[in-house]
Amino acid sequence: MPRNVLILGGTSEAYDLASALVDRPQMRVISSLAGRTGNPRRPAGEVRIGGFGGSQGLTTYLRDNHIDAVVDCTHPFASRMGWNAARGCTAAGVPLLRLERPAWIRQEGDLWDEWDDWSQAVALVSARSRRVLMAVGRHEIEPFASLDHVWFLIRSVEPPDPMPPFAKAEILLARGPFTPESERALLTAHHIDTIVCKNSGGPTDAKLLAARDLGVRVVIKNRPPRPETPKAASVAEALCWLGCQPGD
């Protein structure tokens, strides 16, 4: 069992893993958060906030802190950190596990357009959408600001800064999780015909259930490629990889 574990965090799985490890005897648990939100939820155990300075910076951190194992629990779309983690761990000789929630799979009744880059998404929205719920995060809305004929409801935890020059847009500050009932009410109240989101995965998503029920189109971004590493789909699997029993 490793003594010093670094969790690359930010997802619910990262918080759950830290909670499951923090009280184990002789184990030091450090969670690293990117610091992209002003008041992040703090996981159990030690916390560091901010980047490492690329893969070389991560290698130095791993060596200086005598890290025995790294679990990458970053968001499925945080691909740069995934590649840096693979390179940094390889250079430091530290084993790396990718803990990633399974992707959402299209179900019967889903009206999905799947895409790989922003230009595809903008073209899809421009062609067929008039009232759009943007659920991609505040840092990635700018490519859609050129669509003057589309009204956007931009949902994010914190306001965009700076706000791109949308001709027609409203900001909704909200933090999930949401319920299918609240999502149906939101889509109905704002006459939403399209949701733009990423395939973050995990348990069935409330907005996708609501979209299916209401016949709302979903323009959904496929996950970016990541390096080949050992993978776990649950905290229990990650605990086993670390040599821990979930109930210990």
* pLDDT at position 2 over 60: yes
Please write the tens of the pLDDT for every residue from 40-71.
778 999 999 988 999 999 999 999 999 999 99
State the average pLDDT for the chain.
93
Per the structure block, which two tokens stand in for 215?
């016949």
3-state secondary structure of 4: strand
* pLDDT at position 89 over 90: yes
Residue 190 to residue 170: CA distance in whole angstroms: 10
Please write the tens of the pLDDT for every residue from 144-180.
999 999 999 999 988 998 999 999 999 999 988 899 9
pLDDT cut 70: percent of the chain above it: 96
Domains and CATH numbers, the chain: 4-101+226-241 (3.40.50.720), 112-221 (3.40.50)
Residue with tokens 């189109």: 217
Please write the tens of the pLDDT for every residue from 102-150.
999 999 999 999 999 999 999 999 999 999 999 998 888 999 999 999 9
pTM listed for this prediction: 0.80
* pLDDT at position 232 over 60: yes
CB 194 within 8 A of CB 216: yes
Residue 131 to residue 128: CA distance in whole angstroms: 10
Distance between alpha carbon 123 and the CA centroid of its chain, in Å? 24
* pLDDT at position 216 over 90: yes
For residues 218-225, average pLDDT: 95
Distances (CA, A) of 65 to 49, 217, 221: 15, 48, 37
CB 133 within 8 A of CB 188: no
